[in-house]
Amino acid sequence: MKEEQISDALNLLDNTFIEETDSLRNRQKKVQKGVMFSKIFSAAGGYWKWAVAGICIITAVIAGRRMLMLKPANVNQSVQEEKLPMLSVTENSSDGMGFEGFLAYDISELTNNNPWNEERQPSTLPVFKNRLSYDNDFIVSGADFGKMRELLLEIAGRLGLDAASLEIKDDAPDEAVKQEITEKMEGDVPEGYFSPTKLIAKADGMEITVDRTMQATVSFEPAIKLPDRYNFRNSASYEETVSVAKYLLGQYKGFLCMEDPQINIFHGDYSKHDAGYQQEYQISFYDAGKNNIEGVINYNFRQAEFDCDDSGRLFQASIRQADLSQKMGDYPIIQTEEAKKLLLKGNYITTVPYKLPGEEFLAKTELVYRTGAREEYFMPYYCFYVELPEEEQDGMKTYGAYYVPAVEGKYLSNMPLWDGSFN
């Protein structure tokens, strides 16, 4: 037998075998269950203990095999699930004013290329601990400036810059500014208040910054004009935006550094301007990955976005490279229908100032990760887009976002229950 088989077998030994072996070891006379065993023990002389051990092992292996045959197929999965740490839902994590709502004539106008598919829903999805944390004074800790520097240099290399010649600075205030702020705050300055929040480097008409969330932003100075055939304004149609995205993909493939880049045209909601309402789209890219789960992770945490100025020029590109090194585990995910039941019971978080108006107002559902800097855990949620009767304007509807945790409730220490508060 192999060493690992012997070890496994010994772990399966019944207490009676152990007791019998101990009895024999102490030379106590016991009634044997068969004559053959007695003869073996007596004939073996000084080696009887090995014979007993061998018999016990063989018996245990047979018993073990029987146990394996009877073991349910999901035992390993169940054991793994039981070992998963408890999670907590972060509520009121929004930094913005107002609420998350989208104005459109119909929900079909709101678009994105989310790779999540209800028909190919995975049974588990990974959850990550956010490295960043905030104290009562909203001072951030946990930022890895070493990784931030590495990302900045990597982005510089993708852009063809000489990384060795770059001068990298942070945004910590100088002593004069510190003194001025300290005086205004009458000396009551929280610890860490003057800590840097990002790294900065300038070269060849570009400024590269990397913030604590591991987002790298490239600002072009001056902004880059695209060929005249491309309309890169906020007012561009969906078709025109797709055309611009294909052009940017060809021009900046090295900057993206993706094996299988996917175009993501998102939003499509309306904004009010002096000339009236204007439908607006944005452009980003993500790597499809080797499987559906990788695609979902890349879509939520590894996107690159391109932004235009009012003149239709490229003035900024950003890449999100969230630090996902602190994985909590792969957690079981509930189905959409179960999430809907929780939604109707009020088990959601939202920045919308209105109670869920009713099931008939549910317009669209998708699975996403909440990736805000204040989230304690990056975990999946079902986002329900709900028509808000209170926010109808000029013949258009407003769709508010309501989030229900997608992780099974037994792993959540604080299933949310909306109490009317927001922001």
Q: To which residue do tokens 């065993």 refer?
A: 37
Q: Measured between alpha carbons, how far is residue 49 from residues 45, 46, 53, 58, 274 in Å? A: 9, 8, 6, 14, 95
Per-residue pLDDT of the chain (423 residues; tens, 9 = 90+): 444 443 444 344 444 434 444 443 443 333 333 333 333 333 344 433 333 344 334 444 444 444 433 334 444 455 455 699 999 999 876 666 689 999 999 999 999 999 999 998 899 999 999 999 988 888 999 999 999 999 999 999 999 999 888 999 999 999 999 999 999 999 899 999 999 999 999 998 999 999 999 999 999 999 999 999 999 999 999 999 999 999 999 999 999 999 999 999 999 999 999 889 999 999 999 999 999 999 999 999 999 999 999 999 999 999 999 999 999 999 999 999 999 999 999 999 999 999 999 999 999 999 999 999 999 999 999 999 999 999 999 999 999 999 999 999 999 999 999 887 655
Q: Measured between alpha carbons, how far is residue 248 from residues 170, 230, 239, 402 in Å? A: 30, 10, 14, 33
Per-residue pLDDT tens over the stretch 114-152? 999 999 889 999 999 999 998 888 899 999 999 999 999
Question: Cβ(171)–Cβ(145) under 8 Å?
Answer: no
Phi, psi of 12 (to 5 degrees): -95, -5
The identity of residue 50, as a single letter, is W
Per-residue pLDDT tens over the stretch 358-412? 999 999 999 999 999 999 999 999 999 999 999 999 999 999 999 999 999 999 9
Give kind and range of the element (H or E) at residue 366: strand 362-369
Buried b (16+ CB within 10 A) or exposed e, 384-420: bbbbbeebeeeebbbbbbbbbbbbeeebbeeebebee
Distance CA 1, CA 72 (A): 26
Q: Are strands 124-129 and 377-378 parallel, antiparallel or unpaired?
A: antiparallel
Distance CA 383, CA 303 (A): 19
Beta-bridged to residue 266, according to DSSP, are 282
Q: Which residues contact 63 (CB under 8 A, 6 or more apart)?
A: 12, 14
Answer left, alpha or beta for residue 276, where phi above 0 means left and psi between -120 and 50 means alpha: left
Query: What pLDDT does residue 375 have?
Result: 96
SS3 247: helix
Distance CA 18, CA 4 (A): 20
Give kind and range of the element (H or E) at residue 277: strand 276-287
Task: List, as one string, the DSSP characters of 138-166.
Answer: --EE---HHHHHHHHHHHHHHTT--GGG-
Q: Are strands 276-287 and 261-273 parallel, antiparallel or unpaired?
A: antiparallel
Q: Three-state SS across 211-231?
A: ECCCEEEEEEEEEECCCCCCC
